[in-house]
Amino acid sequence: MKGLMQDWPLTVMSIIDHANRFHAEREIVTRTVEGPIHRCTYSDIHLRARKCAQALQKLGMKQGDVIATMAWNTHRHMEAWYGIMGMGAVCHTLNPRLFAEQLTYIINHAEDQFIFFDTTFVPVIEAVADTLPNVKGFIILTDKEHMPETKLKNVYCYEEIVEAEDGNFEWADVDENDACGLCYTSGTTGNPKGVLYSHRSNVLHALAANGADAMGMRSVDTVLPVVPMFHANAWAIAFSAPASGAKIVMPGANMDGESIYELLSTERVTVTAAVPTVWLMLLGHLEANEVKLPDLTKVIIGGSAAPRSMIEAFERDYDVTVMHAWGMTEMSPMGTLGSFKAGMETLPFEEQLDIKVKQGRAIYTVEMKITDDDGNDLPSDGVAFGHLMVRGPAVAGGYLKGEGGNILDEDGWFDTGDVATLDPLGFMQITDRAKDVIKSGGEWISSIELENTAVGHPDVVEAAVIGILHPKWDERPLLIVIPKEGSGLTKESVLEYMDGKIAKWWMPDDVVFVDEIPHTATGKIQKLTLREQFKDYTLPTATAAE
Ligand code: ADP
Q: Assess whether 444 carries a catalytic annotation.
A: yes
Q: Could you tell me if 388 and 428 are in contact, meaning their C-beta atoms sit under 8 angstroms apart?
A: yes
Q: Specify the DSSP class assigned to residue 414.
A: E
**Pairing verdict, β 271-274 and 298-301:** parallel
Q: Could you tell me if 338 and 358 are in contact, meaning their C-beta atoms sit under 8 angstroms apart?
A: yes
Give pLDDT tens digits for 2-60: 999 999 999 999 999 999 999 999 999 999 999 999 999 999 999 999 999 999 999 99
Q: Cα torsion for 517, 522, 527, 529, to the nearest 10°?
A: -70
Cβ of 328 less than 6 Å from ligand 1: yes
Distance between Cα 321 and ligand 1 center (Å) = 21
- pLDDT for res 533: 93
Q: How many CA atoms lie within 13 A of 202 on its CB side?
A: 36
User: For ligand 1, atom 13, which residue shows the shortest CA distance?
Assistant: 328
Cβ of 114 less than 6 Å from ligand 1: no
- pLDDT for res 544: 64
Separation in Å, CA 525 to CA 3, 70, 322, 327, 462 = 50, 23, 22, 17, 10
Distance between Cα 417 and ligand 1 center (Å) = 10
pTM summary value = 0.94
Q: What DSSP element (H or E) covers 321?
A: strand 321-327
Distance between Cα 416 and ligand 1 center (Å) = 9
Instruction: Spell out, as residue ranges, where the chain has pLDDT lower than 50.
Output: none
User: For ligand 1, atom 10, which residue shows the shortest CA distance?
Assistant: 328
Ligand 1 mutation pick, 304, 359, 370, max ligand atoms within 8 A of CB? 304
Instruction: Please enumerate in sequence order all residues whose Cβ is within 8 A of that of 177, keeping only pairs 6 or more positions apart, or say none.
Output: 198, 199, 200
Amino acid at 451: E
Cβ of 404 less than 6 Å from ligand 1: no
- How far apart, in whole angstroms, are the C-alpha atoms of residue 100 and residue 70? 13
Cβ of 122 less than 6 Å from ligand 1: no
Q: Where are the alpha helices (DSSP H) in 122-193?
A: 122-128, 158-163
Q: Could you tell me if 212 and 194 are in contact, meaning their C-beta atoms sit under 8 angstroms apart?
A: no
Cβ of 232 less than 6 Å from ligand 1: yes
3-state DSSP assignment of residue 399: coil
**Catalytic position from the list 439, 472, 484, 535:** 439
Sign of CA dihedral 539, 504, 275, 421: positive
Of the candidates 229, 228, 237, the one whose C-alpha atom is nearest the C-alpha of residue 19 is 237
CA-atom Rg of the chain in angstroms: 24
Cβ of 249 less than 6 Å from ligand 1: no
Q: Could you tell me if 290 and 261 are in contact, meaning their C-beta atoms sit under 8 angstroms apart?
A: no
Relative to the CA of 430, which ligand 1 atom is closest? 25
Q: Specify the DSSP class assigned to residue 525.
A: B
Relative to the CA of 188, which ligand 1 atom is closest? 2
Cβ of 184 less than 6 Å from ligand 1: no
Of the candidates 388, 454, 466, 395, the one whose C-alpha atom is nearest the C-alpha of residue 420 is 388
Cβ of 433 less than 6 Å from ligand 1: yes
Relative to the CA of 185, which ligand 1 atom is closest? 3
Q: Assess whether 501 carries a catalytic annotation.
A: no
The answer as to CATH 3.30.300.30 being correct for domain 436-545 is yes
Please give the backbone phi and psi of residue 165, each rounded to the nearest 5 degrees, phi first. Answer: -100, 165
User: For ligand 1, atom 9, which residue shows the shortest CA distance?
Assistant: 328
**469: β partners:** 475
**Catalytic position from the list 185, 270, 365, 416:** 185
Q: What DSSP element (H or E) covers 540?
A: helix 540-545
Cβ of 418 less than 6 Å from ligand 1: yes
Please give the backbone phi and psi of residue 544, each rounded to the nearest 5 degrees, phi first. Answer: -65, -35
Q: What DSSP element (H or E) covers 279?
A: helix 276-289
Cβ of 201 less than 6 Å from ligand 1: no
Cβ of 359 less than 6 Å from ligand 1: yes
Instruction: Work out the burial of residue 34: count CB atoms within 10 Å of its CB; fewer than 13 is exposed, 13-18 middle, 19 or more buried.
Output: middle
**Catalytic position from the list 330, 451, 462, 475:** 330
- pLDDT for res 188: 58
**512: β partners:** 480
Q: What DSSP element (H or E) covers 368?
A: strand 367-371
- How far apart, in whole angstroms, are the C-alpha atoms of residue 483 and residue 451? 13
Q: What DSSP element (H or E) covers 544?
A: helix 540-545
- pLDDT for res 369: 98
Of the candidates 436, 335, 424, the one whose C-alpha atom is nearest the C-alpha of residue 382 is 424
Spacing of C-alpha 398 from chain mean position:
20
**68: β partners:** 92, 115
Each domain of the chain, given as residue ranges in start order, spans 436-545
Distance between Cα 260 and ligand 1 center (Å) = 23
Distance between Cα 95 and ligand 1 center (Å) = 16
Q: Where are the beta strands (DSSP E) in 408-484?
A: 414-422, 428-433, 438-440, 443-445, 460-470, 474-483
Q: Interhelix angle for 199-209 vs 12-22, to 10°?
A: 50
Q: Assess whether 235 carries a catalytic annotation.
A: no
Distance between Cα 317 and ligand 1 center (Å) = 27
Distance between Cα 75 and ligand 1 center (Å) = 26
Cβ of 452 less than 6 Å from ligand 1: no
Q: Could you tell me if 28 and 250 are in contact, meaning their C-beta atoms sit under 8 angstroms apart?
A: yes
Distance between Cα 144 and ligand 1 center (Å) = 39
Q: Could you tell me if 145 and 131 are in contact, meaning their C-beta atoms sit under 8 angstroms apart?
A: no
Q: Assess whether 185 carries a catalytic annotation.
A: yes
Relative to the CA of 417, which ligand 1 atom is closest? 14
Sign of CA dihedral 468, 303, 123, 135: positive
- How far apart, in whole angstroms, are the C-alpha atoms of residue 309 and residue 320? 14
Of the candidates 30, 78, 29, 79, the one whose C-alpha atom is nearest the C-alpha of residue 51 is 79
3-state DSSP assignment of residue 70: strand
